[in-house]
Structure 1
Amino acid sequence: MAIYQHMEEFHGLSVSDYPDVLNGGPMAPASLPAADAVAWRLRVDPFGESVRLPDDPEEWAEWEEWPKQFARFLGAVDAGAVRALLVGVWGDLYESDAGEPMAAIIKARDRLVALRAVFVGDIVADEAEISWIQQGRVSDLLVAFPALEELGARGGSKLRFEPVEHGGLRKLVVETGGMPPEAVRGVAASDFPALAHLELWLGTPHYGGDASMEDLAPILSGERLPALKHLALRNSEIQDEVCAAVASAPVVARLEVLDLSMGVLTDEGASALLSGQPLTHLRRLDVSHNYLSEEMRARLREALEPAGVALDLEARDARRYADWRFVAVGE
């Protein structure tokens, strides 16, 4: 599961950490990768040992604030060539949200002319549980960067997504243990003519994931998503309802990949899926982390595998977890 290890690749590039003052300190530009050769991750350690700050040898600090590290980064690399950025730990995650690092990136938009991908919250469970990561209005990045092609965010607390129109975005991923319905509605009300990959981790009501089928309806209609090929509505406590809605959703007819994994999917939802529109045009259907019976898994194989659909049916034990069913990622 991605939330247990830091990303090693992003936007087709290997991820490279830009060192903070506690982990290597300033580095000469000649010792760094080329600015456009990697996806750069910036993260700080708010609980490290005290060090002398590089810009003031007489000053001690317990850690380097994220905006200061980012300013150092912009001065050390060719900012105009940077293609991808990942925001890791930005401070005390229980006391601060992602607003400050996002504001710093947006402030530098005139320098980051080649930036095409941003991921906010490359934070693993050892650093903060996913539902404790405090996000912000991530849609501001789309407004500031009209050429952005990929946007990702992890964490549902304080997550905001205002409706936007963006002609360049091709991939949008929002990973949460509970995605606020207002944020779901913001994504659904956005116009993304080039978006090919949409992935939403809907989560559970316990962590704020109260989205309804009505909130998802504009996505399932596909009207604002004419280029969509990969739809993932994952990690939902109401995965049976999601499957029932997907069964008649207009957008499905032009998909290549349908991902309904990580949620509480039972025979009821899978039966609704099989009773709906044909799925034999798909390249892949992912319903892993399910609570399906052996009989239902056999029905799915019989219906789809002869047509060449790749199936991921990795399951929980439906009988063992009959009274306690849960999504793959909650806290």
Structure 2
Amino acid sequence: MTINSHLQELHGLPAFDFPRAEAQAKTELPPVSSVAWRIAAEYEGEEWEQAFARFLDAVDPTEVRALIVGLWNEAYETSPASIISTLTGAADRFPALRAIFFGDITYDECEISWINQGLVTPVLDAFPELLEFGVRGGTGLEFPAVRHEKLESLVVESGGLGVEVVRGIAASELPALANLDIWLGSSWYGADTQVADLEPFLAGTLLPKLGCLALRNSDIQDQIAVACAGAPVVARLHTLDLSMGTLGDEGAEALLNGQPLTHLRRLDLHHHFISAPLVERLRTTFEAAGVSIDLSEAELGSEDDEDDEHRYTSVAE
């Protein structure tokens, strides 16, 4: 799978593309607070900062509730540092802003593992009322420990995430965080997190409001599942997401034989390498308990797929 479409919504609001310069005069803009505004650069034309300046002139920024940062120029080799500086410099003009997604870029614009990111935590520092923050792309991504009192959802999408980002999130103080979604990715694209690095999340001593934990798109998905099967945090989750990775029979057996998971509302295991008999056991066990379980996208196509080396994450390059 690749990222082949832009976000359709953010913060419960439908996404709306702020028009290109040549189309702006002909485009009727929706009420400012009714949409999540996506602002993007052109491949060979207006830069992101210029589009953002037009946006500030065209709408009342005090009513903006959600903002999506789309493509910036030469994202495959250029850091978004100037965009972050521009955005944080205008923070006082966005008192109602509650959600930001940074890097809504599709594969035909720039593959996920080619997106150059940078230090993104200044966005959280500049917007203390933010409830949702998401970022796509792991190359150059920096997320040192931060404290944010209000953030409820953090999403990091990557084809290969460096362990320092995981450790930075684990060291952060996020007392309101209810949803944590991390795409760990493949070692082929820079992922080097080990299960031990996830222990702060699994121990249950951090993130007192956490209800949805997604540790997914990983090439160590079996090991993560084994760890989750005995992790204290799982007892207070309503959703556990181990999808999009290389999950096989080892991880499936652990989920069936470890601590009870029947309190969950949802268990997401889609895109997996679990054998058919175990798929049936999982389905029967959890559906009987009223758990919504997603076992779609079974990738086991041959005996070779039972070996880890023949498995692949859903999103990598």
TM range (shorter): over 0.9
Please give the alpha-carbon distance, in whole angstroms, between the structure 1 residues aligned to 2:316 and 2:25.
Answer: 38
Cα deviation 1:261-282 (Å, max 9, x = unaligned): 0000110111122221110000
- 1:24 maps to amino acid: A
Equivalent residues in 2 for 1:253-272 (5 A)?
A: 253-272=235-254
Structure 2 residue runs without a partner (length 5+): none
Shift of 1:193: 1.3
The partner residue of 2:48 within 63, 66, 75 is: 66
Q: What corresponds to 1:206 in structure 2?
A: 188
Structure 1 residue runs without a partner (length 5+): 48-62
Distance 1:95 1:130, change over 3 A: same
Q: What corresponds to 1:317 in structure 2?
A: 300
Shift of 1:253: 0.4
Q: What corresponds to 1:103 in structure 2?
A: 85
Please give the alpha-carbon distance, in whole angstroms, between the structure 2 residues aligned to 1:303 and 1:219.
Answer: 26
Please give the alpha-carbon distance, in whole angstroms, between the structure 1 residues aligned to 2:290 and 2:267.
Answer: 11
2:315 pairs with 1:329: yes
Distance 1:322 1:213, change over 3 A: closer
TM-score (norm 2): 0.95
Q: What corresponds to 1:40 in structure 2?
A: 37
2:4 pairs with 1:4: yes
Equivalent residues in 2 for 1:209-288 (5 A)?
A: 209-288=191-270
- 1:137 maps to amino acid: L
Q: What corresponds to 2:178 in structure 1?
A: 196
Query: Percent same amino acid among aligned pairs?
Result: 52
Q: What corresponds to 2:75 in structure 1?
A: 93
Please give the alpha-carbon distance, in whole angstroms, between the structure 2 residues aligned to 1:162 and 1:141.
Answer: 12
Pick which of 219-228 and 234-243 moved more. Answer: 219-228
Distance 1:191 1:2, change over 3 A: farther
Higher RCO (CA < 8 A, seq sep 6+): 2
Please give the alpha-carbon distance, in whole angstroms, between the structure 1 residues aligned to 2:133 and 2:232.
Answer: 25
Q: What corresponds to 2:23 in structure 1?
A: 24
Match of 1:110, SS state, is: helix
- Verify the 8 A CA contact 2:77 2:115 in the aligned structure 1: no
Between Structure 1 and Structure 2, whose CA radius of gyration is higher?
1
Runs of 4+, deviation exceeding 6 Å? none
- 2:6 maps to amino acid: H
Equivalent residues in 2 for 1:119-158 (5 A)?
A: 119-158=101-140
Pick which of 208-217 and 297-306 moved more. Answer: 297-306
Please give the alpha-carbon distance, in whole angstroms, between the structure 2 residues aligned to 1:316 and 1:85.
Answer: 35
- Verify the 8 A CA contact 1:292 1:318 in the aligned structure 2: no
Cα deviation 1:176-227 (Å, max 9, x = unaligned): 0011100011111111111111100000111111111121111112322111
- 2:191 maps to amino acid: G
TM-score (norm 1): 0.91
Cα deviation 1:138-195 (Å, max 9, x = unaligned): 2221111110000011111011111111111111111100111000111111111111
Distance 1:27 1:135, change over 3 A: farther
Alignment size in residue pairs: 313
Please give the alpha-carbon distance, in whole angstroms, between the structure 1 residues aligned to 2:226 and 2:218.
Answer: 13
